[in-house]
Amino acid sequence: MEKRRLIYLDNNATTPCDPRVVDAMLPYFYEMHGNAASRSHQYGWEAEDAVDYAREQIAKLIQSEDKEIIFTSGATESNNLALKGVYEMYAKKGNHIITTEVEHKAILDTCKHLEKMGAEVTYLKIQEDGMLNLAELEAAIRPTTILVSVMWANNETGVIQDMKGIADICAKHGVLFHSDATQAVGKIPTYPREIGIHLMSFTAHKMYGPKGVGALYVSRKNPRVKVTAQMDGGGHERGMRSGTLNVPGIVGFGKAAEIARLEMEQDNKRLSALRNYLEAELTKLEETKINGNTQSRMPHVSNISFKHVEGEGLMMTFNQKVAVSSGSACTSASLEPSYVLVGMGLGDDLAHSSIRFSLGRFTEASDVEEAIQMVRNGVNHMRELSPIWEMYKDGVDLTKIEWSAH
């Protein structure tokens, strides 16, 4: 089969499995196929040992205790377990949750579900650079607030929130702090204990591991956090998440975490240089804008708006050659403009004209070079065809035009 020469710049949606991860997983599909809960024979012990070792590898990556890692089917389940689990467990203390308008749908939709169950949820707006205003966060805390949930790094813009600042506010008011750190873990240092995060969701497939396996970090001391199980059964994972463990997936997750811990720094140096080059070249095109805070963001992500060019249409010009996205993978099928960008104050036109580039471990300089060329050609081609661009070039103030519906 001929190797596809598709340039993959959509690593925030998912990453390819590192071949070293696949090698680590293979024996657990067939030779050592035991159930980690089978305590009466060698197969079960081997599987349990493999799970224990993976738990150690993952704990080391985030500098936590092994027992603070609860395995799940992915970050969406981890987010559900964290929010619903805390809501049920701490119901006597209160029913108020604070989050932001630009969280991943796995948080927003879980909050919507909890509102039907009687939760009160405050959705904080963010500033134009994608950062949360900490004074507004503190002002939103009530005596009934039990949880603050803020993502570490945004999936669309790569903007990194001031996690320490948020944690300090939560500590001051005795509120639990959860972070959906799906886009951050394995790519930048994420140490929940050091920062003061009590629950943290993440997943293997965003860090060159397999799909379908994730984890929830749950603090065991200062404070000892408990969550009510959302999946009942044999009481696996310290009673917080029942179900036969996905041993090959967990082994792969562990290996991916180990590689990330050892290679993160060199990966980031290379990727931020490539990302900066991509931005420098693409912003030579007139009327382009980098979205989000450029000082506090992930090293491999760039979200760029090309004015008067429709993002989905632009992607069609190179769709068979470059894989990128507009919006996040979970919502990109809809024609709505990105709610993250709209939340940052971009008008629908700019939000519609944005493309997210997310580089990864297997991205080469030649890929970036080729992508720049294709995007440049695509933007120029679409602007040539666009009457709006022509009007803009002629100096027409497009905000003053009343477009007739007839």
The predicted pLDDT at position 403 comes to 62
Task: Please give the structure tokens belonging to residue 208.
Answer: 């060159």
| 324-340 pLDDT, tens digit each | 998 544 454 556 788 99
Segment holding 107, helix H or strand E: helix 105-116
- pTM recorded for the entire structure: 0.94
CA distances from 66 to 48, 211, 219 (A): 14, 21, 11
| Domains of the chain, earliest start first | 19-259 (3.40.640.10), 264-395 (3.90.1150.10)
b vs e for 172-197, b when ≥16 Cβ sit within 10 Å of the residue's Cβ? Answer: eeebbbbbbbbbbbbbbebebbebbb
Catalytic residue (choose from 17, 111, 170, 330):
330
The predicted pLDDT at position 404 comes to 62
DSSP 31-80: TT---TT--SSHHHHHHHHHHHHHHHHHHHHHT--GGGEEEESSHHHHHH
Nearest to 78 by CA among 107, 100, 99, 58: 107
**Long-range Cβ contacts of 105-112 (<8 Å, 24+ apart):** 105/328, 105/330, 105/331, 106/75, 106/76, 106/79, 106/80, 106/180, 106/330, 107/79, 107/83, 107/149, 107/151, 107/180, 110/79, 110/80, 110/83, 110/84, 111/83, 111/149
Report DSSP state, residue 185: B
- 111 catalytic, yes or no? no
Measured distance CA(146)–CA(371) in Å, rounded:
46
Phi, psi dihedral angles at 222 (to 5 degrees): 45, 65
The predicted pLDDT at position 335 comes to 62
Angle (CA) 94 95 96, round 5°: 105
Find the distance separating the first CA and the last CA of the chain, reported in whole Å. Answer: 53
What does each of the 406 residues of the chain score in pLDDT, given as a tens digit? 455 578 999 999 999 999 999 999 999 999 999 999 999 999 999 999 999 999 999 999 999 999 999 999 999 999 999 999 999 999 999 999 999 999 999 999 999 999 999 999 999 999 999 999 999 999 999 999 999 999 999 999 999 999 999 999 999 999 999 999 999 999 999 999 999 999 999 999 999 999 999 999 999 999 999 999 999 999 999 999 999 999 999 999 999 999 999 999 999 999 999 999 999 999 999 999 999 999 999 999 999 999 988 888 888 888 779 999 985 444 545 567 889 999 999 988 888 899 999 999 999 999 999 999 999 999 999 999 888 888 888 888 877 777 665 5
